[in-house]
Structure 1
Amino acid sequence: MNKIKILSDNLANQIAAGEVVERPASVIKELIENALDAGAKRLSIEVELGGRRLMRVTDDGTGMGRDDAILSFERHATSKIKNLDDLSRIATLGFRGEALASIASVAKVELVTKIAEDTSATRVYMEGGKLVDVKEAARPQGTTITVRDLFFNTPARRKFMRSEATENYYLTNIVTHYALANPEIAFTLTNNGREIVRVSPAKDLRERAYQLFGAELFESLLPVSGGREFVANISGFVSAPRERRSTRDGQYFFINRRFVRDKIVSGGLLEGFRSVLPHGVYPVAFLFLEIPFEELDVNVHPAKTEVRFRRPEAVKEVISEAIRGALRNAGILQIEKKELKVESRELKVENESEISLQNILQEAQSPFQPTIEYTSENPKQNLENENSDYQTVNQEEETLPVENQPPNFEIPISSIDFEESALEKSREFNSESQIPDEKSAANFEQSTNIKEFVSTSAPSLSSLDSQSVSTPIVDSAVKIPKSIEVESLSSAKIHPIAQLHNSFIIATDNEGLLLIDQHVAHERILFDKFRQKESMRKIESQNLLLPETFDLTPAQSVAFDQIESELENLGFGVMRLSGRTIAVKSVPTDLPPSEVRNLLAEILESFAGDKRG
C-alpha cells in the first residue's frame, strides 16, 4: 500500500508554500531531513564544486516502493501529514511535499530506493521537472538521491550563485547542524573527494560536540538545563567565557529537534551572558528547546528554519534564566542581581587629595550605584569596608526592581592601592585598581603613550575570564565624552590614570575621561604593526619550540583550505596533519604564542563570515 498521498487543495493552500531551492545547501538540507524522517541511522553526503556539479545523499532508512518513488516527485505529495490537525501538530522535519518536486524542476535528479519487502530497488530519473525514466536497480534497503547540474535550465539563477568557497561553507554548516541535532546517527561529508566531516554514532550531545569541535571546546562546555511548564524546556551546553567567538557562527539552536534561526532564542542567549562577555564577542552554544505544539508554529517559511512563538517573551526568559543558572553553577556568576539595594547617594570626602578624581568618578557614575563614604585617613580601608557592606546590605534598605536598573556588565575588581608614583607603576598594574595620590597626580600631566602602556600590561586572551563581581555602569551617555577617532593608538596623547584588574584602563585626554578596553586596544596596536609590516613586506616569523596543534571546526577547516597561503604570507607556519587537525610551527614575531589559537580562530571565522556575507 502506498504511503505517499497528494494533499487536497484545501490543505495544500494552508501550507507556507514557495521555492525551497535557494542554493546547494538548501538541497542538502531537504534531502537530509527526508533521510532522518525515514529513520536513517547512517548518512553519507557527497558534493563537488560547491554543489554545482554534484550532490548525493545516501541513507539506510526505510526506503520507498516503486509507486511511492514516482509519486514523491509530485508537488504536495507527502506521507507526513493528511489533514489540518496534522499541520498543527507537526512532529517530522518535512511536511510540505515540495522538496523533491522543487529540486527536480531545476536539476537532473536520480532517485534509487528500496524497501525491505521488495526484491529489487527502483530507479527514477527526472530532468527539469520531467519524468525521463523508471526502471529496476540494485541496492540494499534505503535511498540514494543524486542531484547534478543545479540550475542548468535557469541560467540567471546559476549566474548569481556564490563562489565555491561560500557554497562549501553553507554546505558544511548544514551538515554540522544536523549532526549536532542527531548524535545517535553517523554522518559523513565528502567535498571534492576530500573528507570534511566523519562522525560515528555518539552516546550524547557532549560526545558529538567533541567529535565535531575538538577537545578544547569540549573542556569548556557548561551544561544548561531548565524550563517552565507549558512554555519550554531547555537543555544543551554553552561555552565558558574564555571560549568565545567574534561571530555568531558557533551558535546552534534546535526547537523540537528542528534546526532554526531565531532572534528570540539568540536574544535569550545574549541576555543570559549579559555582564559576562564584552560587546562584540559571542559564546558557543548548543541549545535544544522542547516546546508544546500548541505554543509553536513552524508553518512560517518554506525553508522551515523560522518559527513563531505564542509567548515569545516567556520563551526568551526561560532561555536567559537557564543560561544564568549554568554560569552560576560554574562559579562564573557569583552574585544574583535580581535587585539592587542602595543606602546613600551622598559622597563625603575628608581626604582633599582625592577630591578631583572622586568628583570625576561621581559625575560619571550611575545614580543607582552604591556610593562610597570616606571617614578616615585610610581610603583603602574604607573602600574595603564599603565593598563588604555592599554585599551584605540589610533587608530594610530601598529596593529597586530589576526592570528599573541600568544595564549591567561584570568586570573583575579588587581593592584600591594608592601609590607614591603611579606613572612609574603604570606598567606593573596587575589585578588591583590603582589610583594616584595628590603628589603623584601631578605626574599625569605628562603625555604618556597609550601604546606603550597597553603593550606592556595587556593580558593574554584567556586571562580576562577570571573571577568577577558585578558593578553597574552609567545609565546615560549625557556626561560621557564623545568618542574619539584616531588614525592609530600610537599617535593618541592619552594619560593613563588607573587600571581595573588588567582589563580596563581609566585615562584622560584633552577632551575628558576615557574608559579603554585594554584587550581591544592591544589588538588595535597589533593590527597597526601588521599593517605597517605588510606594506613594507617585512613580516618576520619566530619558530615555536614545540608546534601547537589545533582541532578546527568543519567551517574553519573549509576556510583554512582557502587562505593557507595567505596565512604563510602573514608569518604563520601552518600545515594540516590529518582530517581537521593543523599544526602551527611558527608565528609572527610580535604575536605572543599564548594568543595563537584565538587569533587563528578569529581569522578563520572572519574569512568564513566574509564568504557567507
Structure 2
Amino acid sequence: MSKITVLPDILINKIAAGEVIERPASIVRELIDNSIDAGATKIDVEILHGGKKLIKVSDNGSGMDRDDAILCFKRHATSKIKSEEDLFDITSLGFRGEALAAIAAVSKIMLTTCSDGSDAGTRIEIGANRKEDISDAPPAQGTTVEVRDIFYNTPARRKFLKSNPTELSHIIETVVQKAFACPGISFSLVHNSSELLDVSAASDLKERFSQLYGEEFKDQFLSSTKEARGIRVYGFFSKADFTRAGKGHQYIFVNNRPVKNPTVNHAVYRGYSNIIPRDRHPAYFIFLDIDHGKVDVNVHPAKREVRFEAPDEIHRAVEAAVYEALNPATRKEPDHIPYQEKTAPGMPAGFYYIPDSPAVAESAPEMYHNLQTDFFTSGMTPDVTSFFHIGESFFATVTGDGLLIIDQHAAHERILYEKFLCKTSLETDPLFLPLRIELPLREYHLVVGYKDFLRGLGLDVEGFGGNNVIVRSLPGELTKADIKGLLMDIAAGIIEEETSGIKGDTPGESLLKNIASRLACHKSVRGSEKLANEELTKMMSDLDRTAEPDRCPHGRPTRILLSLDDLKKMFKRK
C-alpha cells in the first residue's frame, strides 16, 4: 500500500498560508499591495487588538466585478501576470495570486467591491469551513476587505503571535513603509478606534518624510540622488553624528517595493566607513529605480527579498550616493570611490591612527577639575592607584601579578548594567522641567505601551499625543544622556525581545537584560573621555564588586592581565 498521499485542498491552503501569512502585519501588507496595484489614491486601515480580532483595509481603487471577485479567492488567480515571460518584467507589487486564498484559509474574511460604472457591488463572505456567501453591495467604487480572527482554525499558529503592542508595532511599520514608498497616496491607520496615522497625499518624498517622522527627525538626515548606468539611487541618510546602537530605521525600496538586500546594505555601510564608530549604525531610507527586467522579485514567499542581475553595479551606485550625501561638495563616479583607512606607518589594516594624539599619556592634574562626579566620585576610596592611558580607549596599571589593561567603556558598561539589572542602587531624579520628545510612530507606541516597565528602571514616561512623550524623571545614571536616542533604542530592544521567542527564567527577565544593556551603553564613558586617577580607582573598585567583572554585557573583555610569565614569553625569556 502506498505511503504517499495527495493532501486535501484545505490542508494545502493552510500550508501555503504559513509561507505568506506570518502575522497580522503580513495581511496588512498584502491587502495594501492589492490596493496600490488597483490604482487607489486613498487607503484606510483599521485594526482591533493588534490585528488579532480585526483587520480592515479600504481603498478607492478600480474595484472588481462579480466574476473577478469570486475568482480572486482561488489559488494563483491573478490579473497581474499572464505568461511565463511576465515573471521577468513584474511591475506590480503582487503577482502570484496567493494572498487572498492564503488569508481565507486561516481567518474569516469579507470582501466588498465595486468596479467603476457598475450599478451594484459584490459582497463575498467566507466563514468557518470556507463556507461562501455571495450577495449584492452598494455601488461604491473601490474595495474593502475585513479579516477577522486570524489563525482561529490553526491554534498552533495563533499561540505564536506576540503581545498586542508588538503586533501593532509591526503593523505600524508596514503601513509607514507603504506610505513612504507611495507619497502620492493618502493613508490612515486606526487601532481600537484611536487614530494613529492620517497623512494626505504628498507632493514628494521630503514632504512624506516630514508627515511620517516629523521635521525634527528629518533634520537629522541628508538627501542624495545618483544616476548611473540605468540605475537611479535616491533617499535619505543619517548624519554622521546621528547613529544608533541597533539597526532600526534602515529601509530599502526597490521600484517602490520594501525589501531586504545585503548588497545594498553593505554598500551603505561602505559609504559610512571611517566616518562612524564600528559599533554604531546609520539610519537610512534608500530608493532604487531600476529596469524591472534586471531585478528578480520572485525569490521569497513574502516578496521581502530581491536578486539583482548586476549586484556590483548596484553596490557602486549606492556607495556613491551615500558618499556624496556625507560629502556634499564632492561628486564621485560609481567606478571610483576613494576608500582608505587612516593607519600609522606599518600598522595593520583595521587599526585606526589618530594624528597628534600621544600613544601613552599619563593623567594630568589639569583634568581633575573636570571629574565625572556623576559616575565615580560618590564613595571615593582614599587609596588612589596610579594609572596611565593607552591611546583613547584603554588605561593600565602595574600590579603585583603583571600589567593590567582595562577597556574603560566596557568596564563602566558592566558597572551600570548591573545597577539597572538589580534596580537596587538606582536613584531617580525628578526633572525640574519635564522633557517633551517627539518619536517616530512605531517607537512612540512601544515606549508608551511599556511605560510601567520603564518606570521600574527609573524612567517616568507618559504619552502626550501626536507621537510626543513627556519624560518626568530619570535615573541619576542617565543625566545628560541622549534621551531621544535612548528611547528609540529601548523600542528596538522591545521589538528584538518580543520577536526572538527567548524567555528568561522569570517574566520579563530577558527584556530587562536587553534594556539594561542598552541603558548602560548610552551612559558609559566613551574611549575619548580621559578620566583622572581618582575616577579610575573608583571605577575599578566598582567593577570588582560586580557579578561578572571580566566581561561587559555584550561579552567583550573589560580587562586583560599580562602576567610576568606572559611578558617573559613575549620577550623570549622563557
Compute the TM-score of the two structures, normalised by the length of structure 2. 0.75
Give structure 2 stretches of 5+ with no counterpart. 1-15, 378-382, 501-574
Other-structure match for 1:567: 454
Rg larger in 1 or in 2?
1
* Equivalent pair of 2:56/2:144 in contact (CA under 8 Å): yes
Cα distance in 1 for partners of 2:339, 2:137 equals 69
How far does residue 367 in structure 1 lie from its aligned partner after superposition?
5.2
Other-structure match for 2:13: none
Alignment deviations for residues 57-100 of structure 1 (CA, whole Å, 9 cap, x no partner)? 01111111111111111111111111122111000000111111
Q: Report the aligned-residue RMSD.
A: 3.3
The alignment status of 1:32 with 2:32, answered yes or no, reads yes
Cα distance in 1 for partners of 2:346, 2:48 equals 60
Q: 1:422 aligns with which of 341, 363, 367?
A: 363
Q: Secondary structure at the match of 1:225?
A: strand
Cα distance in 2 for partners of 1:497, 1:454 equals 21
Cα distance in 2 for partners of 1:415, 1:33 equals 55
The alignment status of 1:406 with 2:354, answered yes or no, reads no
Other-structure match for 2:477: 590
The alignment status of 1:270 with 2:269, answered yes or no, reads yes
The alignment status of 1:283 with 2:175, answered yes or no, reads no
* Equivalent pair of 2:444/2:469 in contact (CA under 8 Å): no
**Paired residues for 1:63-462 under 5 Å:** 63-128=63-128, 130-138=130-138, 140-230=140-230, 232-329=231-328, 338=338, 368-369=346-347, 406-407=349-350, 422-427=363-368, 455=375
Q: Secondary structure at the match of 2:450?
A: helix
* Equivalent pair of 1:587/1:596 in contact (CA under 8 Å): no
The alignment status of 1:530 with 2:429, answered yes or no, reads no
Other-structure match for 2:42: 42
Letter paired with 2:427:
E
**Paired residues for 1:428-507 under 5 Å:** 455=375, 495-497=387-389, 500=392, 504-505=393-394, 507=396
Alignment deviations for residues 390-430 of structure 1 (CA, whole Å, 9 cap, x no partner)? xxxxxxxxxxxxxxx8247686x5566998x734244468x
* Equivalent pair of 2:344/2:352 in contact (CA under 8 Å): no
Cα distance in 2 for partners of 1:298, 1:196 equals 31
Letter paired with 1:141:
Q
Letter paired with 1:603:
I
Q: Secondary structure at the match of 1:305?
A: coil
Q: Which moved more, 1:49-58 or 1:563-572?
A: 563-572
Alignment deviations for residues 361-388 of structure 1 (CA, whole Å, 9 cap, x no partner)? xxxx76545xxxxxxxxxxxxxxxxxxx
Letter paired with 2:496:
G
Change (3 A) 1:263 1:340: closer
How far does residue 600 in structure 1 lie from its aligned partner after superposition?
2.2
Compute the TM-score of the two structures, normalised by the length of structure 1. 0.70
Change (3 A) 1:492 1:109: farther
Letter paired with 2:493:
S
Cα distance in 2 for partners of 1:598, 1:492 equals 35
* Equivalent pair of 1:255/1:289 in contact (CA under 8 Å): yes
Other-structure match for 1:471: none
Alignment deviations for residues 91-129 of structure 1 (CA, whole Å, 9 cap, x no partner)? 000011111111111111100011221122210111357
Change (3 A) 1:70 1:181: same
Other-structure match for 1:601: 488
Cα distance in 2 for partners of 1:263, 1:494 equals 48
Cα distance in 1 for partners of 2:260, 2:43 equals 23
Cα distance in 2 for partners of 1:324, 1:492 equals 47
Other-structure match for 1:376: none
Other-structure match for 2:10: none
* Equivalent pair of 1:572/1:584 in contact (CA under 8 Å): yes
Change (3 A) 1:167 1:509: farther
Q: Secondary structure at the match of 2:248?
A: helix
* Equivalent pair of 2:114/2:120 in contact (CA under 8 Å): yes
Alignment deviations for residues 315-350 of structure 1 (CA, whole Å, 9 cap, x no partner)? 22321222122111279x9xx9837699xxxxxxxx
Change (3 A) 1:147 1:91: same
Change (3 A) 1:238 1:595: same
Q: Which moved more, 1:22-31 or 1:583-592?
A: 583-592
Q: 1:548 aligns with which of 407, 432, 435?
A: 435
Q: Secondary structure at the match of 1:329?
A: coil
Give structure 1 stretches of 5+ with no counterpart. 1-15, 343-364, 370-404, 430-450, 458-490
